[in-house]
Structure 1
């Protein structure tokens, strides 16, 4: 049986500055943050492509030429088409989607570049859309203390979303879930973007446009919600360490690359991943939860645990690093 290709495309918002991720994002944008050596935006695109979606629109910042080059290299991979547009100023998610408005041809998935979800969740979204053709599908998370002050609250009747409210606040009544920034949307949501009001910070956010579109299409089309049990969000260096822990345990392709060199008496405590060209000095202790990038050098008797080491880094002899993202110094 031939798998039916979904009539969907994916819009990825990737223009964020990632200031809370500094110093990691002094070297590259948040979208280009590597997870086991692969940019997070590339991992996201390849995960979506497994559902059969082959057209991607990426909204980037003006000077992110490294992202543009990476996406150009992916264009054509597995029959994918990737187009880009620029958000000149960070004015919110609705503004970012507005920059891509002329490129969007179909109903679409909307996400940001800093959230990673299980591939099975992407497939569930696509399957539900193909079967039900709702106005929207929201990705839902369970509510934790403080969530309603920073996320949209959602009320449900079965799988149907009966109410969405942006940041309703603690003590605002009973809510069934919060909405994560991963949606399947009817293309008509684009008609609502110009109606979104700016916040006090001068930003326009998507939740308002989605609410307006959903109400306009009722009752012919209904919005649905699908819970996701696990997801990984990238905001801080600690988040990046947690993401690497997950990928080292679940997705690493190897422990030691054949072209890496380990000198005598090196101790490895899995999970670790040591890339091509890396050199690990005599009696060094590596792991657990350590990723070492290509052509990095770890000195004799050094100790690393729960670390991400960027390419080309030199860890000195007897140096100890723990729970740290080691990036090149910016002079």
Structure 2
């Protein structure tokens, strides 16, 4: 199994944080977004990950590339770096990794986090992961037939189609089939919104009778802008606390201070005359004194 992660966007809606670090490497609950994403996907797949291919902008730099390869290696996978230096859409981003597009693979965009527990239907040609939402008109949604198969993708429907929103994570039994369809999209210059879209490749696969089914996640957490990322940090801390994960480093130093969980407290954090929490993440080496921080 492979995981393909298109993540070349700088994340302008998360500035000023993304002025110094790409959006997928911003930490949520003490760990980079993309690190949590691939860990969560690996947990759902419940099978060995052979390769994780990251599609980045060349300007991200060598340190970012080394960090990403290290994330893959922690999961026992080979890390591969590809470049997308022009913002030409999701279909184009995936094709930048075309040398890795073979065999079973998951494609996942690196600005979302999930909590999920379902068995992957490996008999289907593809699984599109979805989440039930209150305002489907704001999302791309799937239309299902009576056999619970996806028969249509509809982007921001003005009239009700379904309340199952596409969250940007896809499984393909053989991703080479998608690669061939996306090559036709590029060759025929099929553009929507000024970009080459993954959906155009998927629609061509559907038209050829391939079986698509939904995979429903329990939680879908966005990291697209500052406000929702803070909310996602709080939700993730709560989930990790429920899981019994130790979130406070033994190397943290507290002097006349209190931590109100859930909080992530990194190595060599120093708290002096302070109250921290709930819902706070402090990275390695932070010093907090005479302060109260929450949410």
TM normalised by structure 2 equals 0.87
Query: After alignment, is 13-22 or 181-190 more displaced?
Result: 181-190
- Distance in 1, matches of 2:219 and 2:116, equals 11
Superposition CA RMSD, Å: 2.1
Matches within 5 A, 1:212-227: 212-216=204-208, 218=209, 221-227=210-216
The correspondence for 1:88, drawn from 85, 89, 108, is 85
Q: Does 2:180 align with 1:191?
A: yes
Match of 2:34 in 1: 41
Match of 1:62 in 2: 58
The correspondence for 1:170, drawn from 158, 161, 181, is 158
Gap runs ≥5 in structure 1? 1-7, 307-331
Q: 1:75 to 1:235 in 2, by over 3 A?
A: closer
The correspondence for 2:109, drawn from 98, 109, 112, is 112
Q: Secondary structure at the match of 2:52?
A: strand
Q: Which has the higher contact order (CA 8 A, sep 6+)?
A: 2
Number of matched residues?
282
Check whether the contact 1:135–1:214 (CA below 8 A) recurs between aligned residues: no
Match of 1:204 in 2: 196
User: 1:93 Cα deviation (Å)?
Assistant: 0.4
Check whether the contact 2:70–2:79 (CA below 8 A) recurs between aligned residues: no
User: 1:69 Cα deviation (Å)?
Assistant: 1.1
Q: 1:118 to 1:229 in 2, by over 3 A?
A: closer
CA deviation digits over 1:138-166, x for unaligned, max 9?
A: 11222422x33441442332321122233
Q: 1:97 to 1:274 in 2, by over 3 A?
A: same
Check whether the contact 1:92–1:205 (CA below 8 A) recurs between aligned residues: yes
Check whether the contact 1:160–1:225 (CA below 8 A) recurs between aligned residues: yes
Q: Does 2:238 align with 1:249?
A: yes
CA deviation digits over 1:73-100, x for unaligned, max 9?
A: 2354343112111001111100101111
